[in-house]
Chains A and B, each alone.
Chain A
Amino acid sequence: MTQIKKYDRIRKYAFDEVLRLPSSLSEISKVRDRVGGKLEKLGYAPRLTMNVALALEEAMTNAIDHGNLMGQPVVEIGVTVNADCCILQVTDFGGITFNPEYFEKLAEVKEWGKGGRGIFLIKRLMDEVYYFFHPEKSTSVVMIKYKESQSASRAS
């Protein structure tokens, strides 16, 4: 029982900041700059900040594209940035389920036309990636990057 409680140390049950933004591609740069600024202030390495920004862009593009198919008005971005790690959650309200592993693998196939590149990139740029599917309600992607990430140079 006590073992599980360990995650309280660095994980919170609520994000520091939850942004509800119009489901428009033009909003991406605002969020990216805002998160990038926070990371810089906390002393995250520039390359690591760039990776997080790129993953966030990809996740938001996917969320807006998928959500807009079902006519969603907004997307939701949860942001928690602290001295240990940066946790981002991008939620669309399209509620379309898909298998991210499948798209990620397809993106690895050479000469394959389309699909899965965003997931492929996010997985390589971030330390932890989770997808939460609530069918016909919402889809969230949670992306986590540690400040002392070992994969910063490899990913870039």
Chain B
Amino acid sequence: MGKGIALTAAQVELLIATWRQICVEEHLEGIYALLVETARRLTDAEHASIALIEEKKLKFVGSTRNDQASRGAIVVPLGAGIPGKVAQDGIGRRIESGDYISPVTRINAPPAPHLDNSSLACVPLKVRDEIIGTLQVYNRIGASKFDESDLEALQVLADHSSVTVERLRLQKNLLIESSRVRGIFQALTDGIMVVDTAGNPVLYNQAVESLFFPDGKQNYALATYISNVVRSGEASGSSEVVLLKPHEMILSNRFVTLPDASGKPAEVIVSIRNISDQRAIDRKYSQFYALMLHHHYQLVARAWKQRNPKKLRRLLRMQRESMRNLISLTELKSGPLRIERGNCSITDVYTKVRNLFDRSLKKSGLVVDDTGFLSHGQIAGRFDRGRMIQMFKTLFRQARRILKNGSRIIWSTITSAGHVEIFVSLEGAGVSERIQEDILDWNAQVDRIISGESSTLDLDLAFLGHVLHAHKGTITICRDSEDVVSIKVVLPLG
């Protein structure tokens, strides 16, 4: 209009009516429908459509064609086709009588073989010089082509409606984004809570509810904690809260104070994570380590005072075992147990360890029957040789510890489907009583010490469990009868 474009009275009336309708339309789809219909009527076109730029592509979002919905959303790259070119450089274009004359090069493009539209006019939708999409009309009714005045009338419509389109599109995106953020907020396993400067909850997610009402009872500790955070007046910080009684929970928290426009603290955002389980593991480990260290000191003190050489040797042997356990524990605490696999013959390792224990086993009056093991021939695989030696030593040591004179240790093995199964059967009077059911669970042993049920730890098999686990193997202990206990070790050969 600034260029002196003369609109007909009917066109002006149509545009004014359209703008009035745009002002009251709340839905983006309604605006699209309104715009394409107005564009069609404004230029006496057969059809009209609107396309918007989304992620560097032009997406056709509205059309006067009834079959548009069934055809699905059309998306073209920027620069492809007339609307793609308009969306790229913002210059309106036309096709006249099937021939496209480029406003950039002013030459005829080669005719398209199956062009449905004999004429087309396309203008950009712009918001503050930024192209947001295009508005186009197809096939003028009763005439072969759109002229310059059609293009400019269409541009008037586009210029006056593009801001509304963009505003509603942003609003729609904002609602989608807001809904997504709210979903994330609710789905967070960490509790997120916003409180005002008086400590009153403004907003919180579901995780907070479970922290505030564990087992349906109100957690006053959290309220007390929030009040502490608010009272501190700090801009940000972190803390750990141990709800020692009655909730027995450990919470890790971070908080940030948000200022209002004048810079005064307005809200405090607190994130709360329940770390009870992790801390329980750490605590257990610490207790365990402290207990073992305590026992170790006691052994050293007793050995230091001992004058009887036989008793001294016994104490030093116990001290050596205790030290070995402490080292294993330290090794486990430093991360997953590392193993160095290599080609290793289980049979050779067994024979070597068997020879080492031969004398002491005979001295203890224990009979070893390993024909079921050695008759199998060589069993080789990829194992950590040092750990395998540790495994056989542990099993022999355990057998020697719990079996009495005249008892039998029976070794046998089976190989199947890439695995080797090693069976150790300990047969002796009352052997079941001397091996705890939960010997593989060191935490249970610590619990028994704390509760005063037991005063000693027997950790060798528990540590062996970790060694086998590192090899992706397993160990199980079965009390077959009062006089028979069997230990089964399964190891992958590969």
Within 8 A of A (CB), among B428-456: 449-450, 452
Q: Which residue of chain B is the closest to A144 with respect to CB atoms?
A: B220
The answer to the question of B484 belonging to the interface, with a C-beta cut-off of 8 Å to chain A, is: no
Evaluate contact between B220 and A4: CB separation under 8 angstroms. Answer: no
B 268-307 binary contact with A (CB < 8 Å = 1; else 0):
0000000000010011001100110010000000000000
In the bound assembly, the distance between CA atoms of A9 and B286 in angstroms comes to 40
Evaluate contact between B283 and A102: CB separation under 8 angstroms. Answer: yes
Evaluate contact between A102 and B287: CB separation under 8 angstroms. Answer: yes
The answer to the question of B374 belonging to the interface, with a C-beta cut-off of 8 Å to chain A, is: no
The answer to the question of B225 belonging to the interface, with a C-beta cut-off of 8 Å to chain A, is: yes
Partner of A99, one of B237, B282, B291: B282
Evaluate contact between A106 and B290: CB separation under 8 angstroms. Answer: yes
Q: Give chain A residues whose Cβ lies under 8 Å from the Cβ of B241.
A: 130-133
Chain A contact residues: helix, strand, loop or mixed? mixed
The answer to the question of B163 belonging to the interface, with a C-beta cut-off of 8 Å to chain A, is: no
In the bound assembly, the distance between CA atoms of A5 and B294 in angstroms comes to 48
A 110-126 binary contact with B (CB < 8 Å = 1; else 0):
10100000010001001
Evaluate contact between B245 and A3: CB separation under 8 angstroms. Answer: no
Evaluate contact between A132 and B282: CB separation under 8 angstroms. Answer: no
In the bound assembly, the distance between CA atoms of A110 and B227 in angstroms comes to 39
Evaluate contact between A11 and B223: CB separation under 8 angstroms. Answer: yes
The answer to the question of A6 belonging to the interface, with a C-beta cut-off of 8 Å to chain B, is: yes
Evaluate contact between B244 and A5: CB separation under 8 angstroms. Answer: no
In the bound assembly, the distance between CA atoms of A11 and B223 in angstroms comes to 8
| Stretch with Cβ within 8 A of A (4 or more), from B9-17, B197-205, B379-387 | B197-205
Evaluate contact between B231 and A14: CB separation under 8 angstroms. Answer: yes
Q: Which residue of chain B is the closest to A115 with respect to CB atoms?
A: B290
Give the number of chain B interface residues (Cβ < 8 Å). Answer: 42
Q: Give chain B residues whose Cβ lies under 8 Å from the Cβ of A3.
A: 209, 212-213
The answer to the question of B228 belonging to the interface, with a C-beta cut-off of 8 Å to chain A, is: yes
- A6-B218, A13-B199, A128-B220 known; A99+B242 contact, CB < 8 A: yes
List the count of A-B residue pairs having beta carbons below 8 Å apart. Answer: 101
Partner of A142, one of B224, B238, B449: B224
Evaluate contact between A7 and B218: CB separation under 8 angstroms. Answer: yes
In the bound assembly, the distance between CA atoms of A123 and B248 in angstroms comes to 11
Q: Which residue of chain A is the closest to B201 with respect to CB atoms?
A: A4
- A127–chain B nearest beta-carbon distance, Å: 7
Q: Give chain B residues whose Cβ lies under 8 Å from the Cβ of A104.
A: 244
Q: Which residue of chain A is the closest to B221 with respect to CB atoms?
A: A130
Evaluate contact between B231 and A13: CB separation under 8 angstroms. Answer: yes
- A3-B213, A4-B204 known; A101+B220 contact, CB < 8 A: no
Please give the residue numbers on chain B whose beta carbons come within 8 Å of chain A beta carbons, in ascending order. 198-201, 204, 209, 212-213, 218, 220-221, 223-228, 230-231, 237-246, 248, 250, 279, 282-283, 286-287, 290-291, 294, 449-450, 452
29 residue pairs bridging A and B, Cβ less than 8 Å apart: A1-B201, A1-B204, A3-B209, A3-B212, A5-B200, A7-B220, A7-B223, A13-B199, A13-B227, A13-B231, A14-B227, A99-B282, A99-B283, A100-B244, A101-B242, A106-B290, A109-B291, A112-B294, A128-B221, A129-B244, A129-B245, A130-B225, A132-B225, A132-B228, A133-B239, A133-B242, A134-B238, A134-B239, A142-B221
- Ordered nearest first, which 9 A-B pairs have the shortest CB separation? A13-B227, A131-B242, A7-B223, A129-B244, A13-B199, A130-B221, A133-B240, A129-B245, A134-B239
> A102-B283, A132-B225 known; 15 other A-B pairs, CB under 8 Å?
A4-B223, A7-B218, A8-B200, A11-B227, A13-B227, A100-B242, A105-B283, A105-B450, A106-B290, A127-B245, A128-B221, A130-B242, A131-B241, A132-B240, A133-B242
